[in-house]
Chain A
């Protein structure tokens, strides 16, 4: 436990010293602001494009809180998650390529402690950034619109967070297996891309962890919370398997 705390402190120190922490917070702060802002501005932008002499008249319904959340989710999922992957792609491989673990391993630091500490600290960073984005979006949305209390808050935001955690565990597994950041990034993006592709097979989407990013349906009322149970379980099992796999690979790895 002492080793775990020491190494985790080092991870947070590293995140701050290499600006990873600040970049992540700044980007997700921006996503939080962008959701409601885009929802408010979209009708204005479209009208100004259509206006003038073009003769096209676009009538847009007034934006709603649901539009703000739709913008928020599309930003976080389509841009935020790839950025998350790029920020964390060096999480294992930097240590391997620079040889910085040699001193610590020869001091008796256990290999599984390294994997668990890195995974948990990355998970916390991701949670804090994601919560910041959600919080900002929530405050703005409540300010501009009369919002009703949300149902299934934990599921709505916990599910996409878990998918981000799944991406982090993919990055760690790829980084441990290949020892460089290309391996890390390609493992993660390859796996996510493959999961998106298999969605074309009927009924697979019901089990696919990628559906965890679609919890907007819980906000606009088109989805059923029970739809997310299967992907949640599969995603959780996959994360555990990837972390156990990373430890197994690392234990056999020559440093």
Chain B
């Protein structure tokens, strides 16, 4: 069964067509990567799924129920993590989760249990300061906790890693990795390495249209590649490697020593 189905969805802002007749579906328990450049229409699509924005045409179905603008009925099935989650700065994490739990209609006992469970999952168990003093990464993680509080069937994350430093990014991806298989996740991003790490399916949104939709496994084998990264277990002379390639009639147009090493270094020293 598909957790989410989108059929012929369109949206325009004034004369500008932001979403142009897109259709796709997300199967149950899949981590779905929604890829696109800034301004491609990712957030617009997500806001329409949540009923926060009115669609001009088409329909959205969540777990068999149709989404309506302004109504919040289907939202009980959805957990949403906005790109920059906003909280009440004067609250502490537990107080905020209590408010969310009461709004969802959870029982007192359940709220307590779920809150400690989720705060442990996102690594905020020992944090009892006011949210106003949180870093961006901490807010993102608390956002993840509030999104998962109602045990949603569908978790929508709008660029959860884009604004974070490498450490924060890694933490958020680890959390997504942990809930994989229990909840269906839609995850929008323009960081392609993140998609490769955790997604099962991807769709690429470009100028309001879906230009590619595929399972991650198929994608890797279907498409011949123009670029690849090779890692050696020992130090090599890059000129030597280039010579071997040239001798075998491969002519690279460019090559670089991996930028990831800086990331690794950052992760190492920032531990």
Question: Contacts of B220 on A, CB cut-off 8 Å?
Answer: none
Give the CA-CA distance A106 to B73 in the complex, in Å. Answer: 9
If the complex has contacts A6-B102, A10-B88, A251-B70, are A99 and B53 also in contact, measured as CB distance less than 8 A?
A: no
**Residue of B73, B80, B84 most packed against chain A (CB within 10 A):** B80
Chain B contact patch, size range = 20 to 34
Contacting pair B72 A110 (CB below 8 A): yes
Alpha-carbon gap, A105 to B73, bound state (A): 10
In the assembled complex, which residues on chain A have CB atoms less than 8 Å from the CB atom of B52? 102, 105-106, 254-255
Do B86 and A108 touch across chains, with their CB atoms under 8 A apart? Answer: no
A residues adjacent to B (C-beta < 8 A): 2-3, 5-7, 9-10, 13-14, 17-18, 98-100, 102-111, 251-252, 254-255
Is B266 among interface residues, defined by CB-CB distance under 8 A? Answer: no
Mask, B66-106, CB within 8 Å of A = 1, is 00001011011011101011111011000100011011110
B66 CB, min distance to chain A CBs, angstroms: 16
For A17, what are the chain B residues with a Cβ–Cβ distance below 8 Å?
Answer: 90-91
11 contacts between A and B (CB under 8 A): A3-B105, A6-B99, A6-B102, A10-B88, A13-B90, A17-B90, A99-B84, A103-B80, A107-B76, A107-B104, A107-B150
Most buried by B among A6, A100, A110: A6
Q: Is A106 a contact partner of B87 (Cβ separation < 8 A)?
A: no
B103–A108 CB distance below 8 A:
yes
Q: Does B146 contact A (CB under 8 A)?
A: yes
Cβ of B54 and Cβ of A2 under 8 Å apart?
no
Residues of A with C-beta under 8 A to B85: 102-103
- Contact in complex: A103, B100 (CB < 8 Å): yes
User: Hey, which chain B residues are within 8 Å of A13, CB to CB?
Assistant: 90-91, 95
The distance from the CB of B79 to the nearest CB of chain A, in whole angstroms, is 8
Interface centre among A2, A9, A100, A102 (most CB of B within 10 A): A102
When chains A and B are docked, how far (Å) is the Cα of A6 from the Cα of B99? 6
Q: Is the CB of A100 within 8 A of B88?
A: yes
User: In the complex the two chains form, is A107's CB within 8 Å of B103's CB?
Assistant: yes
Cβ distance B11 to chain A, nearest Cβ, rounded Å = 11
B50 at the interface (CB under 8 A from A): yes
Establish whether residues B80 and A14, one from each chain, have CB atoms under 8 Å apart when the complex forms: no
Q: Specify which chain B residues have a CB less than 8 angstroms from the CB of A107 in the assembled complex.
A: 72, 75-76, 100, 103-104, 146, 149-150
Shortest beta-carbon distance from B99 to chain A in Å: 5
Task: Give A10 to B85 CA distance when docked, in angstroms.
Answer: 18
What is B's interface to A at a CB cutoff of 8 Å? Answer: 47, 50, 52-54, 70, 72-73, 75-76, 78-80, 82, 84-88, 90-91, 95, 99-100, 102-105, 143, 146, 149-150
A3 touches B103 (CB 8 A): yes
CB nearest to B95 among chain A residues: A13
Query: A14-B90, A102-B86, A103-B87 are contacts. A108–B73 as well, Cβ < 8 Å?
Result: yes
Q: Could you say which of B79, B86, B102 contacts A5, with CB atoms under 8 Å apart?
A: B102
| A38 to B176 CA separation, bound complex (whole angstroms) | 66
Q: What chain B residues lie within 8 Å of A10 (beta carbons)?
A: 88, 99
Alpha-carbon separation in the docked complex, A99 to B158 (Å): 15
**Which A residues lie within 8 Å of B78 (CB)?**
106
Residue of B70, B90, B95, B149 ringed by the most chain A CB atoms within 10 A: B70
Give the chain B neighbours of A108 by CB distance below 8 A.
Answer: 72-73, 75-76, 103-105
**Interfacial chain B residues near A6, Cβ < 8 Å:** 99, 102-103
Q: How far is the CA of A191 from the CA of B50 in the complex (A)?
A: 36
Contact call B103/A252, Cβ cutoff below 8 A: no
**In the complex, residue of chain B having the shortest beta-carbon distance to the beta carbon of A113:** B103
List 14 extra interface pairs beyond A102-B86, A111-B72, A252-B70, CB under 8 A: A10-B99, A14-B90, A18-B90, A98-B86, A102-B52, A103-B86, A103-B87, A103-B100, A103-B143, A105-B52, A107-B75, A107-B146, A107-B149, A108-B76
How far in angstroms is the closest Cβ of chain A from B115? 14
How far is it, in angstroms, between the C-alpha of A3 and the C-alpha of B104 when the chains are bound? Answer: 8
Contact partner, A109, options B53, B54, B72, B87, Cβ 8 Å = B72
Interface centre among B47, B95, B99, B100 (most CB of A within 10 A): B99
Interface contact B88-A14, CB-CB below 8 Å: yes
In contact, A109 and B103 (Cβ under 8 angstroms): yes
